[in-house]
Amino acid sequence: MSVPIYRSRSVSPYPGKTTSKRYNFEMPARLFFRSGLTERYRGLREVLEDWAQNEGQKAEGKVILVKPNCVSAKVRLASTHAEAVRATLEVLSQLRPKRLILGEGSSEDTLRAFENFGYLFWAEKFGAEVLDLNTDEFEIRYVYNSQGQRIPVKIAKTALYSFRVSLAKPKTHDTVIVTLGIKNLVVGAIQKPDKPKIHQGYPATNLNIALLARELAPHLSLVDGFEGMEGEGPVEGSPVFHGFALAGSDPVAVDAAAARLMGFDPREVGYLVFCARLGLGTLGEREWEILGGPLEAAIKKYRPHPTYEEQRRWELLGTELSGKL
């Protein structure tokens, strides 16, 4: 049996604040993958069970926060499917968590979204608490505006101090090219009315997501790629049947692999590049071990957002801001 190699880096979550917290990733990063799916629930459950069998001990006995994507309380295509919530709560409830929480901080009405999308039935069935992160206790963290000045935002404490599970779907985006597991958790943890503060133009928005990810990156990322969104995402785009499921403990690797499956180069996605520079995960495919089949056969080119070419300018315009890392 080969001896696993671990990378360990000290990370300071925010400017001026030090921490002894260390992030350890097994190398290569293991990604649990299924493609060619004809049934959403079965595929998601399979990758989650693979993860639980190999790495589930990381979550045992902990407070687990499962964070779906409810950017809209009404548009189902823009939001996490109830069958994804079902599969996730079912598998995680078997890990004997201290508490199992289904939580989101929607820009709209979180609890109305949970009701509209059918989450509440599965939360009750698997003993999960329901939490609107907008009403949670909070701590102040800082992001940057477009001039490079620090501005405060309120972050839900449950998101800061739980075992975080991001339950995302692949969507194109109007600012950061794609939205996946990392962005889902980071933005959802910011309480209203502070959410708009993270959006400070292409360079600063990508930087802010990465800075907040130092304390909010998912410990487990699940991407439900059964159906994605292309074009004018993250809310008003068009459906794409894709038929894949992807999970892993390295949040950068999961998002980068999902971006590849959508036909995008993950090195074009600013917050993924910044997260990799910060040691939050692995961006390069040579550092991944994909369990369940190669990605190449499942790649489907998504139509990008109309502002895609402008969004790619994050690095050119963000040279000065990137010095904030």
Predicted local distance difference test score (pLDDT) of residue 323: 67
Confirm whether 13 is domain-assigned.
no
Q: Where in the sequence is the domain holding 152, given as residue range(s)? A: 28-324
Predicted local distance difference test score (pLDDT) of residue 138: 99
CA distance 305 to 299: 18
CA distance 83 to 80: 8
Confirm whether 269 is domain-assigned.
yes
Confirm whether 17 is domain-assigned.
no
Contact indicator for 104, 84 with CB cutoff of 8 Å = no
Average pLDDT over residues 80-96: 99
Contact indicator for 34, 293 with CB cutoff of 8 Å = yes
Confirm whether 234 is domain-assigned.
yes
281-313 pLDDT, tens digit per residue, is: 999 999 999 999 999 999 999 999 999 999 999
pLDDT at residue 25 is higher than 90: no
The helix or strand, by DSSP H or E, that contains position 314, with its residue range, turns out to be: helix 314-317
The helix or strand, by DSSP H or E, that contains position 91, with its residue range, turns out to be: helix 82-92
Confirm whether 158 is domain-assigned.
yes
Angle separating helix axes 270-277 and 202-216, nearest 10 degrees: 50
167-188 pLDDT, tens digit per residue, is: 999 999 999 999 999 999 999 9
pLDDT at residue 257 is higher than 90: yes
Contact indicator for 241, 227 with CB cutoff of 8 Å = yes
Confirm whether 124 is domain-assigned.
yes
Q: Domain total for the chain?
A: 1
Q: How confident is the model at residue 320 (pLDDT cuts 50, 70, 90)?
A: low
206-219 pLDDT, tens digit per residue, is: 999 999 999 999 99
Its pTM surpasses 0.85 = yes
Confirm whether 4 is domain-assigned.
no
Confirm whether 11 is domain-assigned.
no
